[in-house]
Amino acid sequence: MKRATLEFLKQRFTDYYRDAYLSAPPSVGQREWGFIFFEPDYPEIRMRRHIGFSSTDELFAYLRAMVPAHAYYSTAYYSDPQAPTMGEKGWLGADLIFDLDADHIMRGPYDVMLARVKDEAEKLIDMLTDELGFSRGEMDIVFSGGRGYHIHIREIAVRGYGSPERRELIDYVCGTGIDPGIMLSIRSHSPRGWHHRYISSLLEYLVWLEEAEEGEAVSRLSVMEGVGKVTAEEFMKRVPELVRRLRTDPGHVNLRDRVVGRVISALAEESGSGFSERLRERAALADEPVTTDIKRLIRLPGSLHGGSGFRVTPLTPAELGDFDPLVDAVVFGTRDVRVEMERGASMTMLGEQHSLEAGVQTVPEALAVFLCCRGMAEIAGGGSGAS
C-alpha cells in the first residue's frame, strides 16, 4: 500500500473515531484486547495483543489516540487478561459465538454474498431460538464489517461450556454427523428439527431421481463408493415405494434392506451428491472453529473494519431483516476522491451502482475507502477533493 493511501485511510479512520459513539462489551476489564494498526507495511497482519483496559473510558481513549485498522477483544473472561501467555491469564469462561462468513458459503459478487450470508444468519437465529432454546433477548447480532455476521450469546449458563459442549452445538446447527438410521426410524410431525430437514431433503432428491432419465439416475448413483451399477438399478426400482413411504410414514423406511441401506448411506456420505447438497442448504453454515475456540478474539462492535472501512455494526435480531450493510454500515460520505484502479470493478455503495475501469477514477469517499482498504485501488495524484 502506497504512503498516500495509508495516510488517507488513517485520516478517515481518525475522523471516525474522534466523533463516533463507541460502545464496549460487558466486563471490559476481564477481556484481552488486540489491535492491528496502519503501519508502513500494512495490510500485512501484525497484531498487538495481550492488552488490557481497566475501564471503558480507558479503552475509548486508546481507540481515539491509536486509531487501529482492526480492533478485537476476547470472547473469554480472564482474571489477568494482560498476562503474556494464555496459561497465565486465568480463564474464567467465554461467551458463546457463532460466525457466518460468506467466503465459506459461496463465491460471487460482493452484494450477492452479503445477501446470502444474511439469509444464513436469519436461519441460524431461528435454529438457536426455536430448537435450542436460546433467548433472542440474550442474543447480540453483529455485522462483521467484512463478509459476515457474528452472533453473541452471553447467557451465564453457557459461559462455562468447554470446547466439547460448544462443538455439539455447532454440529447441530451445521447438521454434522447425521445418522440416516436414526433420522428414518423416528416419527415426528414437527416442521422443525433435523428429522424434518432430513426427510424433506431425501424426498426432494428421490422425486428428482424418479423424474430423471433412468440412465442419468443410475449413472449418478453408481459412481458413489460402495454402490455400483447393479445396486443403483435395483435401488431405482424401489424409489416409487420409498417416495410413498416418506410422504406417508417416513419412520417405516427399511434401511436393513441391503440395497436401500447401502444407497442412502452413500448419499449421506457423498459430499457432491444431490441429496447432501439439499441437506446442506437446510443447515446453518456457521464456522466451526470460531464456536469451539474458548479463547477467540472477535471484532469490536462499533469499530471499523480495516479491510472494508465499514462499521462493525451491532444489531438486534429484529433489526437484521431490514439491515443493508452497503448502506447501514457505511460511515463515510460522498465527496469526490481520485483513486487509481488496478483493474475494472463493479460495486454497489449507498444505493448506487458504480462501474469502474482500470486507471484513474473519481469516486465517492465511501467507495474510495472501501477500494483502498480492499487493495483494489490507491489514492491517485491530487488525492481527495480533486476532479
3-state secondary structure 102-167: HHHCCCCCHHHHHHHHHHHHHHHHHHHHHCCCCCHHHEEEEECCCCEEEEEECCHHHHCCCHHHHH
The pLDDT tens digits of the residues spanning 174-212 come to 998 888 878 877 766 666 788 888 888 999 999 999 998
Give me the chain's average pLDDT, please. Answer: 91
Determine the pLDDT at residue 223: 87
- In the chain, the N- to C-terminal Cα span, in Å, equals 22
Q: Is 15 a catalytic residue?
A: no
Closest CA to 198 of 280, 259, 254: 280
Determine the pLDDT at residue 251: 63
Calculate the alpha carbon distances from 229 to 40, 206, 365 in Å.
62, 17, 61
Distance, in Å, from the CA atom of 75 to the CA atom of 300, rounded to the nearest integer, reads: 10
- Which one of the listed residues 80, 111, 249, 287 is annotated catalytic? 287
- Which one of the listed residues 99, 126, 171, 324 is annotated catalytic? 99
The pLDDT tens digits of the residues spanning 149-170 come to 999 999 999 999 999 999 999 9
Determine the pLDDT at residue 192: 77
Beta bridge pairs of residue 346:
355
Q: Is 126 a catalytic residue?
A: no
Q: What are the cell numbers at 181?
A: 438410521
Determine the pLDDT at residue 250: 67
3-state secondary structure of 234: helix
Determine the pLDDT at residue 252: 66
Determine the pLDDT at residue 180: 80
Determine the pLDDT at residue 143: 98
Stated pTM of the model? 0.88
Determine the pLDDT at residue 5: 95
Distance, in Å, from the CA atom of 377 to the CA atom of 359, rounded to the nearest integer, reads: 9
Determine the pLDDT at residue 190: 67
Q: Is 287 a catalytic residue?
A: yes
Determine the pLDDT at residue 385: 43
Contact yes or no for 118/65 (Cβ under 8 A): no
The pLDDT tens digits of the residues spanning 41-60 come to 887 778 999 999 999 999 99
Q: What are the cell numbers at 377?
A: 485501488
Tell me the domains of the chain and their CATH numbers.
Answer: 3-174+287-328 (3.90.920.10), 180-281 (no CATH), 336-384 (3.40.5)
Q: Which residues of the chain have pLDDT under 70?
A: 187-191, 250-252, 382-387
- Which one of the listed residues 101, 179, 249, 293 is annotated catalytic? 101
